[in-house]
Amino acid sequence: MALLEVKNIRKSFGKSEVLKGIDFSLDKGKVLSIIGSSGSGKTTLLRCLNFLETPNEGTISVDGNIIFNAEDTHRMSDDEIRKNRLHFGLVFQQFNLFPQYTVLDNITLAPKLRLNEEKLTKDEKKHRIDCITENAWELLKKVGLTEKSGHYPCQLSGGQQQRVAIARALALTPDILCFDEPTSALDPELTGEVLSVIRDLKSSDSTMIIVTHEMDFARHVSDEIIFMANGIIEEQGTPEQVFDSPKSPLTRSFLSKSIESY
């Protein structure tokens, strides 16, 4: 069974329908890249998965459990939303690190706050905090920033900030990690370090959805490609299918344009 199943997601802002029925599924350990021109609804789709937007129609299931159903008449409580959205992690284009916390504290803040919701004895709590900190160091090693643990975000380059943001998202062990153009806000010479972290994640079997304009990267890191146009999935397939023999004329013209600008 697929880890993630998205069915008929529709989302409108006012009168304009931005997502017009999105269906796809994703297996555990696979990487899905979403490409498409500006305004096609890629960000909106990721935001729906992370409960930052509420779809008007459709369902989202993880591991066979429906975590979102627009039909469901009862409105989800804030607590339910918080629990369900933790199946997903999201790395933003603009990093959105917390400026007043050090790199290490950015990573440990949310996991530590989650401890407040469990009833723990003092010793248990201390033990859990130690685990969280240890895990954070582990993640810092993964993104190659152990020596920056005590720095503040303003003291880091964009590429380093984005790597911290990735570690921060991983600290909550999401089932599926989403990236919204993780390198678009970076200088070209800094994109490499971030992409290589994502590549490493792939080899450790993380399930990921990546919205990107880096066609070369998408081709090499992905198991599956979705090309979106005007709020629908125009074409879907393996990287070879989509990049080498696109069926849709829209895909073809998008790809030729993005190769030109490359």
Partner 1 sequence: MEVFLEVCSRLTDGFINAFFLFILTLVFSLPLGLIMSFCTMSKFAPLRIPVKLIVWVLRGTPLMLQIFAIFYLPGLLRLFVWPQMNTGWEWFDSTFSTRFIAALVAFAINYAAYFSEIFRGGIQSISQGQYEAGQVLGMTKSQIFFKIVLLQVVKRIIPPMSNEIITLIKDTSLANTIAVYELIYEAKEFMTVDGLIWPLFVAGAFYLIFVGLLTILFNHMEKKLDYFRS
Ligand X SMILES: Nc1ncnc2c1ncn2[C@@H]1O[C@H](COP(=O)(O)OP(=O)(O)OP(=O)(O)O)[C@@H](O)[C@H]1O
Q: Which residues are near ligand X by CB under 6 A?
A: 13, 18, 36, 38-44
Q: Which of residues 43-62 bind Mg ion (CB under 5 A)?
A: 43
Contact status: 188 vs partner 1 (CB under 8 A): no
| AA identity, residue 232 | I
Residues 92, 46 contacting (CB under 8 angstroms): no
Q: 3-state secondary structure string, 177-244?
A: EEEECCCCCCCHHHHHHHHHHHHHHHHCCCEEEEECCCHHHHHHHCCEEEEEECCEEEEEECHHHHHH
Select the residue interacting with partner 1 from 89, 231, 239, 246 (CB under 8 A): 89
As given in the structure block, the two tokens for residue 123 are 């010793």
The secondary element (H helix, E strand) that includes residue 19 is: strand 16-26
Contact status: 40 vs Mg ion (CB under 5 A): no
Select the residue interacting with partner 1 from 42, 148, 168, 202 (CB under 8 A): 168
Contact status: 85 vs partner 1 (CB under 8 A): yes
From the list Mg ion, ligand X, partner 1, none, pick the one residue 86 interacts with, judged by a Cβ distance below 5 to 8 Å according to partner type. partner 1
CA atoms within 13 A on the CB side of 160: 16
Contact status: 109 vs partner 1 (CB under 8 A): yes
Minimum separation from the CB atom of position 247 to partner 1 (A): 35
Residues in the site for partner 1, rule: CB under 8 A? Answer: 50-52, 78, 82-83, 85-86, 88-90, 92, 94, 96-100, 109-110, 113-114, 152-154, 168-169, 172
